[in-house]
């Protein structure tokens, strides 16, 4: 059990390890604290084993070196001539125990009589190699040649060396090479386990509840004695003034007498101090009543009622009402009951809980086109930050019969973000988010689902990839962009406990995509939703979530050709 926990805890989350062990054992026997202890003990065990290997290599001076079968240089050939794993182990063990002791005759006899080869050509190659008949010479000669090149021993000095000493030197050289490789593997494993043990809520995305109980608490800052708020001398921040054209009235006030001597004042101030008072007038609803009369035919007696014109919406609410409900629910994360209360208190609009749900669905369908356009934009971006967080999705519509845990994924660019809820945290889910042909640079937290990308594999193996942000404009050194983008979704999950159906999850993902993208571009969310609902009802082209060339953007939003311009035509809606 400790080996299984230590192995999988370095590849999947503690929660998934708990679930895996529970399936195997039939009961829940692990906790985050227990897993943390097992991983820590395993790291210590590997460190001790690594130290013992080093000490052992220093003390070994025997003339014959025993070589473990798992590092046999003939293992690739043995695996090709063997028919299964047990035969492979048997062949490798025999080759090791005889070939390096000089028992060439016994080895040849074994190869020629005892092996039923899966690949006869590979077996013949191995026999020729042992006999020393290959063009490149005997394997031992190859090892000796490599040893001479690495050690700098001259050919004449080597020829004068007794055969037994040369054999010992070659064996020791091979043993050193094997131990160095084994040491490197142990060091890599030790570093991974130490990273796992030292991970906490301060240096990773792990929650504080997963921290070890003996973790030192951060020191509290000593009080500075200063008052709260802005300190003397700091730059002021005042509310922006509205343009004069938007003011209902402008009144000029002049002082009549001097505040010092009391004399009357005359003149004109070209730059007066401006003070504005903003008020929201009572909202007056615009209500249209359509009366559908029913008349009786005087000839046949059939009763016929009039129908609504095509331009009149059957749901009974205008496009702006649908947009406001979507914004209250999707941007401000109000529950259905809170939306009902807000619509009544703020606007005087009465509606039921079912109406809120129906209007949410209409708002979700209205932004389907812009959201798909944003998805294509993100998948073609040169630099993308990605992250994922748990999300609860019920089975009210029968789309989650096994009550699987859902995951909310996000892909972030400076001006456009895309969210998607899926019942998986696997590689296929990451590919659905980014596209199977994603060719940009991905900034992520190194979760295993992203390892199908070359960029992620390079980040894990190639140290210079850690410094890409210093040479590539727009690439951040951290994954904070995705973490910030997904934070509202986490708050939504905690206050609403997820969604009850797949349609609810789709609404969450689409509204987060709309709100996050528009906020990055300093665009009005309510106006966008109103335009999207109007376009959906009138069957016209919806507004776009993509950056507009004439729009001004925040100074920290990089917009220097983030897309593959050769494929821009694939992003635009038809």
Q: Which of 41-50, 355-364, 543-552 has the highest mean pLDDT?
A: 355-364
pLDDT of 249 higher than 90:
yes
| Residue 138 pLDDT class (50, 70, 90 cuts) | very low
| Residue 465 pLDDT class (50, 70, 90 cuts) | low
What six digits make up the tokens of 219?
Answer: 């020191």
pLDDT of 175 higher than 90:
no
Strand locations in 432-486, DSSP E? 441-443
pLDDT in tens, 497-539: 778 888 988 998 999 999 999 988 889 999 999 999 999 988 8
Mean pLDDT across 15-20: 72
Q: Which long-range contacts (CB under 8 A, 24 or more apart) does 521-528 make?
A: 521/415, 521/547, 521/548, 521/551, 521/553, 521/557, 522/551, 522/552, 522/553, 522/554, 523/551, 525/327, 525/331, 526/323, 526/324, 526/327
Instruction: Determine contact, residues 150/180, Cβ cutoff 8 Å.
Output: no
Q: Where are the domains of the chain?
A: 319-361, 367-570
| Residue 473 pLDDT class (50, 70, 90 cuts) | low
> Which residues are 296's β-sheet partners?
303
Report the alpha-carbon distance of residue 98 to residue 37 in Å, rounded.
44
Query: In this predicted structure, what is the pLDDT of residue 321?
Result: 94
Distances, alpha carbon 194 to alpha carbons 31, 186, 460, in Å = 19, 12, 16
Q: What is the DSSP letter of 273?
A: P
pLDDT of 135 higher than 80:
no
pLDDT in tens, 220-239: 888 888 888 878 888 877 78
Q: Tell me the DSSP string of 4-48.
A: HHHHHHTTS-HHHHHHHHHHHHSS----HHHHHHHHHHHHHHHHH
Q: Which of 39-53, 78-92, 346-360, 545-559 has the highest mean pLDDT?
A: 346-360
Query: In this predicted structure, what is the pLDDT of residue 333?
Result: 86
Mean pLDDT across 548-555: 60
Mean pLDDT across 325-338: 90
The more confident residue out of 33 and 47 is: 33
pLDDT of 51 higher than 80:
no
Instruction: Determine contact, residues 481/474, Cβ cutoff 8 Å.
Output: no
Query: In this predicted structure, what is the pLDDT of residue 494?
Result: 76
| Residue 397 pLDDT class (50, 70, 90 cuts) | confident
What six digits make up the tokens of 418?
Answer: 């895309």
pLDDT of 290 higher than 70:
yes
Query: Of 24-33, 184-193, 198-207, 527-536, which gets the smallest average pLDDT?
Result: 24-33
Residues 465-474 as b/e (b if ≥16 CB within 10 A, e otherwise) read eeebbeeeeb
Query: Of 20-29, 196-205, 405-414, 456-465, which gets the smallest average pLDDT?
Result: 456-465
Instruction: Determine contact, residues 57/176, Cβ cutoff 8 Å.
Output: yes
- What percent of the chain is predicted at pLDDT more than 90? 26
Query: In this predicted structure, what is the pLDDT of residue 377?
Result: 93
Contacts of 69 (CB under 8 A, 6+ apart): 75, 89, 92, 93, 96
Query: In this predicted structure, what is the pLDDT of residue 88?
Result: 66
Mean pLDDT across 86-107: 64
| Residue 144 pLDDT class (50, 70, 90 cuts) | low
| Residue 102 pLDDT class (50, 70, 90 cuts) | low
Q: Measure the CA angle with vertex 229, ends 225 and 233; round to 5°.
A: 90
Mean pLDDT across 8-24: 67
Cα four-point dihedral sign 207, 212, 218, 219: positive
Report the alpha-carbon distance of residue 111 to residue 443 in Å, rounded.
53
On average, the pLDDT of the chain sits at 77
């Amino acid at each position: 059990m400790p080996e299984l926990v230590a192995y999988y805890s370095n590849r999947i989350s503690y929660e998934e390890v708990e679930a895996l062990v529970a399936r195997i054992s039939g009961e829940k026997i692990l906790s985050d604290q227990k897993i943390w202890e097992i991983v820590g003990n395993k790291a210590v065990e590997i460190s001790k084993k690594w130290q013992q290997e080093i000490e052992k290599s220093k003390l070994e001076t025997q003339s014959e070196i025993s070589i473990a079968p798992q590092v046999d240089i003939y293992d690739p050939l043995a695996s090709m001539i063997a028919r299964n794993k047990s035969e492979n182990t048997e062949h490798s063990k025999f080759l090791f125990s005889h070939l390096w002791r000089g028992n060439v005759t016994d080895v040849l006899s074994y190869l020629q009589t005892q092996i039923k080869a899966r690949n006869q050509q590979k077996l013949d190659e191995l026999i020729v190699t042992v006999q020393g008949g290959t063009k490149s010479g005997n394997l031992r000669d190859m090892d000796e040649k490599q040893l001479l090149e690495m050690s700098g021993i001259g050919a004449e000095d080597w020829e004068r060396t007794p055969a037994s000493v040369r054999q010992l030197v070659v064996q020791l050289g091979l043993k050193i090479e094997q131990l160095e490789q084994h040491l490197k593997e142990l060091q890599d494993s030790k570093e991974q386990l130490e990273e796992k043990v030292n991970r906490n809520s301060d240096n990773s995305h792990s929650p504080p509840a997963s921290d070890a109980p003996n973790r030192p608490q951060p020191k509290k800052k000593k009080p500075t004695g200063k008052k709260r708020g802005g300190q003397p001398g700091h730059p002021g921040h005042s509310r922006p003034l509205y343009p004069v054209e938007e003011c209902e009235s402008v009144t000029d006030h002049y002082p009549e007498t001097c505040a010092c001597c009391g004399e009357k004042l005359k003149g004109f101030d070209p730059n007066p101090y401006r003070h504005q008072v903003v008020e929201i007038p009572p909202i007056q609803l615009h209500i249209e009543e359509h009366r559908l009369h029913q008349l009786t035919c005087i000839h046949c007696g059939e009763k016929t009622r009039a129908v609504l014109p095509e331009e009149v919406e059957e749901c009974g609410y205008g496009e702006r009402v649908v947009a406001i409900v979507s914004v209250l629910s999707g941007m401000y994360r109000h529950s259905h009951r809170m939306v009902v209360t807000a619509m009544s208190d703020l606007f005087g609009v009465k509606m039921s809980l079912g109406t809120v749900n129906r209007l949410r669905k209409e708002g979700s369908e209205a932004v389907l086109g812009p959201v798909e356009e944003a998805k294509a934009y993100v998948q073609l971006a040169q630099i993308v930050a990605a992250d994922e967080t748990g999300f609860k999705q019920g089975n009210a519509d029968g789309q989650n019969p096994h009550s699987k845990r859902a995951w909310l994924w996000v892909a972030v660019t400076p001006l456009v973000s895309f969210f998607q809820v899926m019942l998986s945290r696997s590689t296929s889910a990451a590919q659905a988010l980014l596209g199977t042909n994603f060719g940009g640079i991905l900034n992520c937290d190194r979760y295993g689902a992203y390892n199908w990308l070359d960029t992620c594999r390079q980040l894990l193996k190639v140290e210079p990839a850690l410094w890409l942000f210093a040479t590539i404009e727009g690439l951040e050194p951290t994954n904070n962009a995705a973490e910030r983008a997904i934070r509202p979704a986490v708050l939504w999950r905690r206050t609403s406990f997820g969604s009850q159906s797949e349609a609810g999850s789709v609404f969450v993902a689409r509204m987060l995509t709309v709100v996050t993208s528009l906020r990055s571009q300093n665009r009005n969310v309510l106006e966008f939703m109103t335009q999207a609902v109007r376009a959906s009802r009138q069957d016209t082209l919806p507004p776009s979530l993509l950056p507009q060339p004439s729009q001004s953007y925040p100074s920290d939003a990089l917009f220097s050709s983030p897309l593959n311009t050769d494929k821009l035509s694939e992003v635009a809606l038809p």
